[in-house]
Structure 1
Amino acid sequence: MFPFSYQEYLIYCNQKQSSNSFHAYLLSGGFPEYLKNGMDEILQNLLLDIISRDILLRNSIKNPRVITEILVYLLGNISREFTLTNLKKTFTSIGSVTTIASYVEFLEDAYLIFTLPRHSYSLKSRQINPKKVYSIDNGFIRANSTGFSEDYGRLLENLVFIELRKKYREIFYFREQGECDFLVKEKTKITKAIQVCYEVTGRNKERELKGLLEAMNFFELNEGFILTFQQEDEIIIDGKKVFLIPAWKYDY
Structure 2
Amino acid sequence: MIKEYITRQHYLDRVKPYIGKDIIKVITGQRRVGKSYLLFQIMDVITASDSEAQIIYINKELYEFDFIDNYKALLEYIKDRAEDKKNRCVFIDEIQDIDQFEKALRSLSAEGEYDIYCTGSNAGLLSGELATYLSGRYVEIKVFCLSYIEFLDFHKLQNNSGTFLKYIKYGGLPYLINLKLEDDIVYDYLKNIYNTILFKDVVKRHRIRNIAFLERLTIYLAHNAGSLVSAKKISDFLKSQKTNISPNVVLNYLSHLESAFFILKVRRSDIAGKKIFEIGEKYYFEDLGLRHTIIGYRQADIGKILENLVFLHLKRSGYEITVGRIGKKEIDFACEKEGERLYVQVAYMITDKAVHDREFGNLLEIKDNFPKIVVSMDEMTGGKFKGIKHVNIKDFLVSAF
TM-score range, shorter chain: 0.7 to 0.9
Residue from 185, 191, 210 that aligns with 2:336: 185
Query: What is the rounded CA distance, in whole Å, between the counterparts of 1:212 and 1:228 in structure 2?
Result: 15
**Percent identity of paired positions between Structure 1 and Structure 2:** 23
- TM-score w.r.t. the length of structure 1 is 0.87
Q: One-letter code of the match for 2:384? A: I
Per-residue deviation at 1:65? 2.0
Q: How does 1:42-191 map to 2 (within 5 A)?
A: 42-92=189-239, 93-120=243-270, 121=273, 126-128=277-279, 130-145=280-295, 148-175=298-325, 176-187=327-338, 189=339, 191=341
Per-residue deviation at 1:213? 1.5
Per-residue deviation at 1:32? 3.6
Structure 1, unpaired ranges of 5+: none
Residue from 211, 232, 247 that aligns with 2:381: 232
Structure 2, unpaired ranges of 5+: 1-28, 30-143
Q: Which residue of 1 aligns with 2:389?
A: 243
Per-residue deviation at 1:31? 2.0
Residue from 133, 155, 159 that aligns with 1:13: 155
Per-residue deviation at 1:99? 1.4
Structure with the larger RCO, 1 or 2 (CA within 8 Å, 6+ apart):
1
Query: What is the rounded CA distance, in whole Å, between the counterparts of 1:246 and 1:236 in structure 2?
Result: 15
Q: Which residue of 1 aligns with 2:36?
A: none
| Superposition RMSD in Å | 2.2
**Count of residue pairs brought into register by the alignment:** 243
Contact 1:74 1:133 in 2 (8 A): yes
- TM-score w.r.t. the length of structure 2 is 0.56
1:154-193 C-alpha deviation (Å, 9 max, x unpaired): 2111001011112235201123322211010234x56111
Query: What is the rounded CA distance, in whole Å, between the counterparts of 2:231 and 2:298 in structure 1?
Result: 21
Contact 1:177 1:211 in 2 (8 A): no
Query: What is the rounded CA distance, in whole Å, between the counterparts of 1:191 and 1:177 in structure 2?
Result: 21
Per-residue deviation at 1:224? 1.0
Query: What is the rounded CA distance, in whole Å, between the counterparts of 2:210 and 2:298 in structure 1?
Result: 25
The change in CA–CA distance for 1:249 and 1:107 in structure 2 (over 3 A counts) is same
Contact 1:117 1:126 in 2 (8 A): yes
1:44-64 C-alpha deviation (Å, 9 max, x unpaired): 221111011111111132312
1:77-133 C-alpha deviation (Å, 9 max, x unpaired): 11111111011112344542111111101111111111111113576x5222x1111
- SS in structure 1 opposite 2:254? helix
Residue from 220, 223, 235 that aligns with 2:371: 223
